[in-house]
Structure 1
């Protein structure tokens, strides 16, 4: 909320130094915490009963720093022409965030619980699954938003919020032409 109040996201050029500082500090703290966590997991520190608690504290404590790191990296990356081009496909995913959240939740429950893959895949396999889901979300979101102005769950959400049924119409550009050929 602080960054929104000071207008940091509206005038990123003015606050670029702040975002670079956040990136540097959160990156160093995150790296330090990850190294400490790895040392505890590898047994370099013998803390007895507190070993597991320290590991949990480090992982959960690192989350906020990683969040700041990711946000600052994305903000700074978006300031570059290459970054804008790279991040452009995520725009449609953001416009359909509720639909994508529910889609990935249902899909993951079906894959991991329904098909029995829960706790049976290693890190690389889970990472591959996540990348596949993200790629599918990007493609589906772009395809859907080329045809309709809202995602299906966003339409349902608006229906409940505004209390009236808005018809979801195809976008003008994607509607089939009614002109006859001569």
Structure 2
């Protein structure tokens, strides 16, 4: 986040020139982008994405790796401390994290809304401020959502209603990648790119995810891991863990 603040110290004339060049480039690229996604064949689409999306993301990796790696470390710390499996013993600590991150997340989100609505203006640095407060509010809200969900699952009489979601958690990578494949197939097969409304897209997402919940439950009845999780685990530990559970598939 300190790295993100560097833009605020960039001289105004330098930033103005950079934004002017970016706008011209962006307007030209947008026309090509829409044309490729709507009309090009799959291979052209894939190579285009490799050039305009994958390469810039890799170049940005030295900056994006810090928050991503920090989240891995938080997850590791949580597991090592057994916080998830001992919520009752750590309830006061979890509630403290919930209160602090909730208050911070709400405050930062309100500042972000003020910036988005341009009630508070920073001129040339407006987008830099929006980017900074988007990132900051996101990290605090992430921990607020997590702690709230943990407390709800532990102490709410309605927690069992969310039991189905644990299967998607166990198969998170497979679920994510299969969503990409399903949506890619739908968009390519029916020419849906740029045609769906927000409401239609939301309904489609809910249908796909609901079906995945039941598919994941069925899969994990017979297997220990999702297919992608099994491959990832095999790569990580340099050995092939057992995949299939010791039960016969019923008709």
- Is the Cα–Cα contact under 8 Å of residues 224 and 244 in structure 2 kept in the other structure? yes
Structure 1 moving runs of 4+ over 6 Å: none
The correspondence for 1:152, drawn from 223, 227, 244, is: 227
- Residue 156 to residue 89, structure 1, CA distance change in 2 (3 Å): same
- Is the Cα–Cα contact under 8 Å of residues 234 and 240 in structure 2 kept in the other structure? yes
Listed one character per residue, the Cα deviations across residues 58-114 of structure 1 (whole Å, up to 9, x for unaligned) are 111112101101110121011125343022101222222232121012223344576
- Residue 2 to residue 51, structure 1, CA distance change in 2 (3 Å): same
Q: Which has the higher mean CA deviation after the structures are superposed, 39-48 or 111-120?
A: 111-120
Cross-structure match for 1:91: 166
- Is the Cα–Cα contact under 8 Å of residues 108 and 137 in structure 2 kept in the other structure? yes
The structure where helix makes up a greater share of residues is 2
Alignment pair present for 1:66 and 2:141: yes
Cross-structure match for 2:247: 171
CA distance in 2, matches of 1:52, 1:7: 40
TM-score w.r.t. length of structure 2: 0.58
- Is the Cα–Cα contact under 8 Å of residues 149 and 171 in structure 1 kept in the other structure? no
- Residue 155 to residue 52, structure 1, CA distance change in 2 (3 Å): closer
Alignment pair present for 1:6 and 2:81: yes
CA distance in 2, matches of 1:49, 1:121: 34
